[in-house]
Amino acid sequence: MAADANPQHLWRNPDPRPSYDAIVVGGGLHGLATAYYLARNHGLTNVAVLEKGWLGSGNAVRNTTIIRSNYLWEESAGIYEHSLQLWEGLVDELDHDFLFSQRGVLNLAHTLGDVREGVRRANANRLSGIDAEWLTTEEVADFCPIIDTSPGIRYPVLGATLQRRGGIARHDAFVFAISRAVDAYGIDLLQGCEVTGIDVVGGRVTGVQTTRGPIASTTVGLVAAGHSTVLAGLAGFRLPIQSHPLQALVSELLDQVLNCVVMSSAVHVYVSQAHKGELVMGAGIDSYNSYAQRGSFHVIEHQMAAAVELIPLFARAHVLRTWAGIVDVSPDASPILGLTPVDGLTVNCGWGTGGWKATPGSGWCMAHTMATGVPHPLSAPFSLERFETGALIDEHGAAAVAH
Amino acid sequence: MLLIACAWCGPRDEVEFRYGGQAHVAWPTAEDAISDAEWGAFLFIRDNPQGDFAERWVHQHGCRRWFNVVRSTVTHEISAVYPAGQSRPESAPGRSGAGSGEGAR
């Protein structure tokens, strides 16, 4: 089994070098995974990860830790399932137990429309080689007994999809695990290093200006989630991304009462229980654009009302704390991962409310794109050009509020 | 929860309103002549500033009328409210005139 989850040594805190073979802008999980696979798959270690705050200060530890791959379309199945298969090996590969637990993910259906969409998605998943099952109301009651499956409630449970290989992991421990692995390759993790300018000469990127001085590189990847449009603006192009707050909350520590992940797009809630005992719940995004890392209370109120109706024993739990992350919402609820109008500059954003689960697959494909200059086959459909050609990958059904 | 001063009814809770995104986005005047890239940009790309943002709201559960707001995306402070069809007030802070679509009418 892997090493202690709370190691003594974390990573070096180096000063920036004047230039690198490649720069990853953004020290969130997708940036860290990009750096990890640049070294592991492509042998690139003269690399820096630029983080304006500190590692683990943003969405890396604000997500609700759910991992699954049961998206509708083949393009999504490809990258999310690749990601899930990578998750299945990462505890051993990183030699760090970040509590990856494949306890199963239920997506509840409350209306005839939900049922049809759920059955269709389970069938589509199986055709893509992804494990998926359709459960009847009685089977939902057997699998997760604390859900109220009585017919009289406002949004009765008419069935659910189940992905047994889905689950949760401890996100802060994963930040430790992957940061240490990246550092061990000799890659510089530069914290407190905000990018304030992007140097472009003759249509080609040549480096970045930062709060810790200029750094040169002809290979730069932007992996900045909610701040992606700000960075793109520095390089002179626009992205179809809107930044919104996405709120989540935890209860106090409770005995283990919830054995799986329960998600419901229709009533806007998704919940799991951490190993330590907190109930971890997420909501839908706040409607307005924001960079403030906080949202409006009525969104949480709405989410709690839904959770308590679905799982009545939650009524006795108390909210311990709430927070928000800034998510990068794209028009089709699918990511943007690929080349930009600037040579040598690649972008990875638009994961919106669902980036955590995709961390390894996203980093794998981004590293390939940065190292070779050509999009990885799994991420090629997620190009920026699709908003010109119209080849959208509409995952609002699989993502909805509960991405 | 935001307290939004409807241009027609006065201050009301945010839950009475629906959000409409960036204001002052004009339909392309030469829609049969523009390129796919320009059409795609009109359909999908909106400004996403870190700071003051001119945006549309509709008083869905009140008078059901649209109006515009200048609101900071960093502090959520609302600095101007004005009827749909009017230009962004000169006095509203952060007015840059930048961004395609801005002010095009």
Q: Model confidence over A380-400: pLDDT tens digits?
A: 999 999 999 999 999 886 654
Least confident window among A157-161, A351-355, B90-94: B90-94
For an interface test with B, give the residue of A291, A383, A385 to mutate (most B CBs within 10 A).
A291
Residue A5: what pLDDT? 59
CA angle A232, A236, B36 (to 5 degrees): 90
With 80 as the cut, is the pLDDT of residue B97 above it?
no
The interface predicted TM-score (ipTM) is 0.91
Q: Decide if A313 contacts A148 (C-beta within 8 A).
A: no
Q: Is A290 on the interface with B (CB under 8 A)?
A: yes
Res B90: pLDDT = 78
pLDDT band at A284 (very low <50, low <70, confident <90, very high): confident
- Tell me the per-residue pLDDT of A344-380, one tens digit each, with 9 for 90 and over: 999 999 999 999 999 999 999 999 999 999 999 999 9
Q: Which phi and psi (to 5°) does residue A200 adopt?
A: -125, 125
Rounded to a whole number, what is the distance in Å from the CA of A157 to chain B's nearest CA? 27
Residue-level pLDDT at B16? 98
| For residues A305-315, average pLDDT | 92
Question: CA A361, A367, A370, A372 torsion: positive or negative?
Answer: negative
Contacts of A105 (CB under 8 A, 6+ apart): A66, A68, A70, A162, A163, A166, A167, A260, A261, A263
Q: H or E element: which one contains B43?
A: helix B36-44
pLDDT for the residue B93: 56
pLDDT at B96: 45
Q: How far is A127 from chain B (nearest CA, A)?
A: 31
In this complex, do B1 and A297 lie within 8 Å of one another by their Cβ atoms?
Answer: yes
State residue A268's pLDDT score: 81
Q: Which two tokens stand for residue A112?
A: 């005839």
pLDDT at B98: 39
Calpha distance A61→A172 (Å, rounded):
6
Which residues have CB under 8 Å from A305's CB, separation 6+? none
Give the pLDDT score at A78: 96
Using CB atoms, pick whichever of A287, A291, A389 lies closest to residue B50: A291
Given a cut of 80, whether residue A206 has pLDDT beyond it is: yes
Domains of chain A: 7-61+172-241+332-389 (3.50.50.60), 101-166+242-325 (3.30.9.10)
In eight-state DSSP terms, residue B75 is: T
Distance to chain A for B104, nearest Cα, Å: 18
Nearest Cα to A12, choosing from A37, A38, A43, A49? A49
Say what the pLDDT of residue B31 is. Answer: 84
- Residue B45: DSSP 8-state: -
Q: pLDDT at residue A331 above 90?
A: yes
Name the residue among A290, A296, A387 with its Cβ closest to that of B73: A290
Q: Does A196 touch chain B (CB under 8 A)?
A: no
Residue of A385, A354, A371 whose CA lies nearest to A83: A354
Q: How far apart are CA A123 and CA A120, in angstroms?
A: 5
Closest approach of B89 to chain A, Cα-based (Å):
20
Interchain CB contacts (distance < 8 Å): A and B: 59
3-state secondary structure chain A: CCECCCCCCCCCCCCCCCECCEEEECCCHHHHHHHHHHHHHHCCCCEEEEECCCCCCCHHHCCCCEECCCCCCHHHHHHHHHHHHHHHHHHHHCCECCCCECCCEEEEECCHHHHHHHHHHHHHHHHCCCCCEEECHHHHHHHCCCCCCCCCCCCCCCEEEEECCCEECCHHHHHHHHHHHHHHCCCEEEECCCEEEEEEECCEEEEEEECCCCEECCCEEECCHHHHHHHHHHHCCCCCCEEEEEEEEEEEECCCCCCCEEEECCCCEEEEECCCCEEEEEEEECCCCCCCCCCCHHHHHHHHHHHHHHCHHHHHCCEEEEEEEEEEECCCCCCEEEECCCECEEEEECCHHHCHHHHHHHHHHHHHHHHHCCCCCCCHHHCCCHHHHCCCCCCHHHHCCCC
Residue A220 is encoded by which pair of tokens? Answer: 């730069």
Q: What residues in A contact B73, CB-CB < 8 Å?
A: 243, 288-292
d(CA A39, CA A259): 37
For B11-52, what is each residue's pLDDT tens digit?
999 999 999 999 999 999 888 899 999 999 999 999 999 999
**Residue A209: is its pLDDT beyond 90?**
yes
| Mean pLDDT for the stretch of residues A326-341 | 96
Counting Cβ atoms within 10 Å, is residue A87 exposed (0-12), middle (13-18) or buried (19+)?
buried
For chain B, which residues make up each domain, given as ranges? 1-28+47-105
> What's the one-letter identity of residue A283?
A
pLDDT band at B92, cuts 50/70/90? Answer: low
Using alpha carbons only, give the angle A241, A81, A374 rounded to the nearest 5 degrees.
Answer: 60
**Residues A262-275: pLDDT tens digits?**
999 888 889 999 99
Please state, in angstroms and as integers, the Cα–Cα distance from residue A70 to each residue in A146, A337, A398, B92, following that order.
23, 20, 7, 46
Cα(A103)–Cα(A28) distance, integer angstroms: 25
Q: What is the pLDDT of residues A242-264, one digit of tens each?
A: 999 999 999 999 999 999 999 99
Pick from A240, A290, A297: which is nearest to B44 by CB?
A240
CB contact under 8 A, B55 and A288: yes
Q: What is the DSSP letter of B94?
A: T
Note whether A63 and A225 are within 8 A (CB): no
**Residue B45 distance to chain A (closest CA, Å):** 4
Percent of chain A with pLDDT over 90: 92
Average confidence score pLDDT of chain A: 95
A19 — contact with chain B (CB < 8 Å)?
no
B76 contacts on A by Cβ (under 8 Å):
288, 290, 292
Q: Rounded CA gap, A210 and A307, in Å?
A: 44
Crossing angle of helices A171-184 and A29-42, in 10° steps, is 40
* Two tokens, residue A150: 């009585």
Q: Which CATH class is domain B1-28+47-105?
A: alpha beta
Interface touch A292/B71, C-beta < 8 Å: no
Looking at residue A396, its pLDDT comes to 82
Least confident of A86-90, A147-151, A301-305, A398-402: A398-402
How many beta carbons lie within 10 A of that of residue A156, not counting itself? 15
Between A178 and A305, residue with greater pLDDT: A178
pTM for this one? 0.94
The predicted pLDDT at position B102 comes to: 34
Tell me whether A243 touches chain B (CB under 8 Å): yes
